[in-house]
Structure 1
Amino acid sequence: MTTPKFILELRAKVGHDLLWLTGLTGIVLDDQDRILLVQRADTGRWALIGGILEPGEQPAVALVREIHEETAVDAEVERLIGVETFPPAAYPNGDQVQFLDLAFRCRPLTTNARVNDDESLDVRWWPLATLPPLRPEEHRLIARALSPTTEPYYVTSAGRG
């Protein structure tokens, strides 16, 4: 996976210490009840499209960029689904991270999906009724994107929101 230059520069200064980063997740849904997923090159698992907000970028603009970079699909953001802090995690090389994730429901402007970078092994439109195994948080994001509620999810207390 390609690590953004700004993270490489930060890592040169802080080593493997915890980095607080802004992540972006796109739930791209078409009008045929399908969702766009990528098969990650680093883990082999199917996942929602995601990326990291780079300095100076606007979140919705950055997510549209990420969707195109990973899948060759042009999309537009429809609405914010949620804002959530994920637990700290560590990569195999020891780098520690914690993400503030901004999740958006998106709709495709084009639908010809293909692997468009080295971060994915496969890219595919999946019918919502026959999804591959996904992480529980990804199922929650999909449910929120499909919900008629348009208010974004966020935590309002020490518990869950």
Structure 2
Amino acid sequence: MGYIQELRKLIGTRPIIMVGVAVIVKNEKDQVLLQKRTDSGDWGTIGGALELGESLEEAAARELYEEAGLAASSFQFVTVLSGEAFYYKYPHGDEVYNVVAVYEAAGIAGTPRINDDEGLELKYFSLNDPIANLNPMGRMILTRAGYLK
């Protein structure tokens, strides 16, 4: 059981500040890898919350493997996103104010595959075309990090 799940047992669904990462994976066509989420059924970026004692880069590597079955030789820091706009209420009721460190993964090894129960599908999308059913948090991350216009 992870840190956030343990915390939720104590405080329920009340809003918390959650520090996490979003990992941007691009292919040779400059398309970005997105995950169709189990909880909401829409597309979002790869990423998640830090565990106790974990660095942002360690969280990026862990989330990339957990959610997409991939490894990266390095992670390039892009930006940190936070504030009122990063409030999110999960479909099951948990509320968070996200602080998201965005990293771009380089030197990708492996073939994208669903590797946990958080995703239904993985797919590369062009950033030059509208992405149908992109969740609001994923859209905000990609826009504010400079990937979408």
Q: TM-score range by the shorter chain?
A: 0.7 to 0.9
3-state SS of 2:39 partner: coil
Does the 8 A contact of 1:27 with 1:142 survive in 2? no
Larger displacement relative to structure 2 (14-23 or 38-47): 14-23
**Post-superposition shift, 1:131?**
5.5
Instruction: Classify 1:11/1:110 alpha carbon distance in 2 versus 1 (closer, same or farther; 3 Å).
Output: same
3-state SS of 2:109 partner: coil
Matched residue, 2:72? 75
Identity across the alignment (%): 30
Matched residue, 2:105? 106
Does the 8 A contact of 2:31 with 2:126 survive in 1? yes
- What is the CA RMSD across the aligned residues, in angstroms? 2.2
Structure 1 residue runs of 5 or longer lacking an equivalent are: 147-161
Runs of 4 or more, structure 1, over 6 Å off, are: none
2:107 and 2:131 map into 1 onto residues whose CA distance is: 20
Matched residue, 1:36? 33
Instruction: Classify 1:38/1:108 alpha carbon distance in 2 versus 1 (closer, same or farther; 3 Å).
Output: farther
1:137 aligns with 2:140: yes
Letter in 1 for 2:72: A
**Post-superposition shift, 1:138?**
3.5
1:50 aligns with 2:50: no
Instruction: Classify 1:34/1:91 alpha carbon distance in 2 versus 1 (closer, same or farther; 3 Å).
Output: closer
**Post-superposition shift, 1:126?**
2.6
**1:69-108 C-alpha deviation (Å, 9 max, x unpaired):** 1111212443211112143332344322111111111124
Query: TM-score, normalized by length of structure 1?
Result: 0.76
**Structure with bigger gyration radius:** 1
1:38 and 1:68 map into 2 onto residues whose CA distance is: 13
Query: TM-score, normalized by length of structure 2?
Result: 0.81
Larger displacement relative to structure 2 (50-59 or 127-136): 127-136
Does the 8 A contact of 1:85 with 1:100 survive in 2? yes
Matched residue, 2:81? 84
Instruction: Classify 1:138/1:7 alpha carbon distance in 2 versus 1 (closer, same or farther; 3 Å).
Output: closer
Aligned pairs, how many? Answer: 142
Matched residue, 1:18? 15
Instruction: Classify 1:103/1:89 alpha carbon distance in 2 versus 1 (closer, same or farther; 3 Å).
Output: same
Does the 8 A contact of 1:81 with 1:141 survive in 2? no
